[in-house]
């Protein structure tokens, strides 16, 4: 069974590029342009992994992850952002994320991180501070 990944980012260009990169190796089961849409699709699509942008209008990445965790889902989430890892660690304090990728990132780095997270088979970890 192929790994099912959902991409959540307010930038259409980022969603398209990340979906193409990931889709060449794994199945992109869907994408969302904002948190509200992401939560609706999340229930329908049941992804194995979520690639989540921190900064989105309306409902940001932290708010999305809070709702996902409140629903009892422990699936791995890789957060990506233009903010530093320290800023992301502060923003997601108390929530479990599998990894962080600093934007912009290369295709090789994205593939490496998805593989690393899924090979580890642990649902989540706290970002290093």
pLDDT digits (tens, 9 = 90+) for 41-80: 998 999 999 999 999 989 999 999 999 999 888 899 999 9
Name the domain count of the chain: 1
CATH classification at residue 83: 3.40.50.2300
Print the SS3 string covering 93-129: CCCCECEEEECCCCHHHHHHHHHHHHHHCCCCECCCC
Contacts for 95 with CB less than 8 Å, ≥ 6 apart: 62, 65, 66, 69
Q: In this structure, what is the dihedral angle of CA atoms 77, 123, 28, 51, given to the nearest 10 degrees?
A: 10
pTM of the prediction?
0.87
Residue 126 lies in a domain: no
Residue 8 maps to a domain: yes
Query: What is the spatial distance between Cα 68 and Cα 45, in angstroms, rounded to a whole number?
Result: 13
Range of the domain at 50: 4-120
């Amino acid at each position: 069974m192929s790994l099912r990944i959902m991409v959540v980012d307010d930038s259409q260009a980022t969603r398209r590029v990340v979906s193409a990169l990931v889709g060449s190796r794994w199945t992109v089961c869907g994408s969302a342009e904002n948190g509200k849409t992401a939560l609706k699709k999340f229930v329908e699509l049941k992804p194995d992994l979520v690639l989540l942008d921190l900064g989105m209008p309306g409902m940001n990445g932290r708010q999305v992850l809070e709702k996902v965790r409140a629903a009892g889902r422990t699936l791995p989430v890789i957060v990506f952002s233009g903010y530093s890892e320290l800023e992301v660690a502060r923003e997601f304090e108390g929530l479990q994320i599998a990894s962080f990728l600093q934007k912009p990132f290369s295709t090789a780095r994205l593939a490496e991180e998805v593989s690393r997270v899924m090979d580890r088979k642990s649902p989540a970890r706290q970002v290093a501070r």
